[in-house]
A and B are shown apart, each in its own frame.
Chain A
Amino acid sequence: MTYKVGGYAPGTGVGTLAAAVDGVLTAQVRRLAQFVSTH
């Protein structure tokens, strides 16, 4: 899964959100893989 994000975020810019988004999506993709592997 790849998520490409671009645009304007006031202050420090969009890039500062990358780590938080990465953390959430990593957990979600792993949950999908776990679900698929066990159901």
Chain B
Amino acid sequence: MRNALLAIGFLLLCPPPGFADVVDSSPAGFTVKVVVDAAAPAQRAYQALTERIGSWWDKDHTWSGNAANLSIDARPGGCFCERLANGGVTHMTVIYAEPGKLLRMSGGLGPLQDLAVTGVMSWAFTEAAGKTTIER
């Protein structure tokens, strides 16, 4: 029993390298935080986010049903956009871009677009010991 309590205490003090959580929530808004490690340099992780989104984004969370229609123009004012057969979608707008370190975008994703809400999404990349932590 004592060992089990110690283990729980250790986990609470030292969470695993990857975690996801709703860190706060109220009727007026919320914050979601996700931290994961990737076995790659930060620059490559940043490039995958901005240049290869069509290769990893789940197509089930697109309007067109095809992640290859997604793109991120990673410069201030750039568009996180999606091509549609006869039109297109602006998902978010880039408001901060520092390759290999930080990408920040503004907008309401998915069904949030139809609500009177806005959001700020930050992707921070920290490289150490041959791996990159993606968080903010």
Q: What residues of chain A have their CB less than 8 Å away from a CB belonging to chain B?
A: 1-9, 12-15, 17-19, 21-22, 24-37, 39
Hey, what's the 0/1 contact readout for B96-127 against A, CB within 8 Å counting as 1? 00000000000011111001111111111000
Q: Are B28 and A1 touching (Cβ within 8 A)?
A: no
User: How distant is A8 from chain B, measured CB to nearest CB, in Å?
Assistant: 4
The dominant DSSP class at the B interface is strand
Q: Are B118 and A5 touching (Cβ within 8 A)?
A: yes
User: How distant is A23 from chain B, measured CB to nearest CB, in Å?
Assistant: 9
Closest to B33 in A: A2
Cross-chain pair count, CB within 8 angstroms: 147
24 residue pairs of the A-B complex, CB under 8 angstroms, read A2-B33, A3-B120, A3-B122, A4-B120, A4-B121, A5-B117, A6-B119, A7-B28, A9-B117, A13-B27, A13-B28, A15-B29, A15-B30, A18-B25, A18-B32, A21-B109, A22-B21, A24-B110, A25-B32, A26-B34, A29-B36, A29-B134, A35-B55, A39-B48
Which size bracket describes the interface of B in this complex?
35 or more
Q: Are B48 and A15 touching (Cβ within 8 A)?
A: no
Chain A contacts of B109 at CB under 8 A?
Answer: 3, 21, 24
Chain B contacts of A33 at CB under 8 A?
Answer: 18, 36-38, 45, 134
The dominant DSSP class at the A interface is helix
Q: Are B117 and A14 touching (Cβ within 8 A)?
A: yes
Given A15-B26, A25-B32, A29-B134, answer yes or no on A1-B115 (Cβ-Cβ < 8 Å).
no
Q: Are B29 and A22 touching (Cβ within 8 A)?
A: no
Q: State in angstroms the CA–CA spacing of A9 and B119 once bound together.
A: 13
Say yes or no for B52: interface residue by CB 8 A criterion: yes
Given A15-B26, A15-B29, A36-B132, answer yes or no on A6-B117 (Cβ-Cβ < 8 Å).
yes
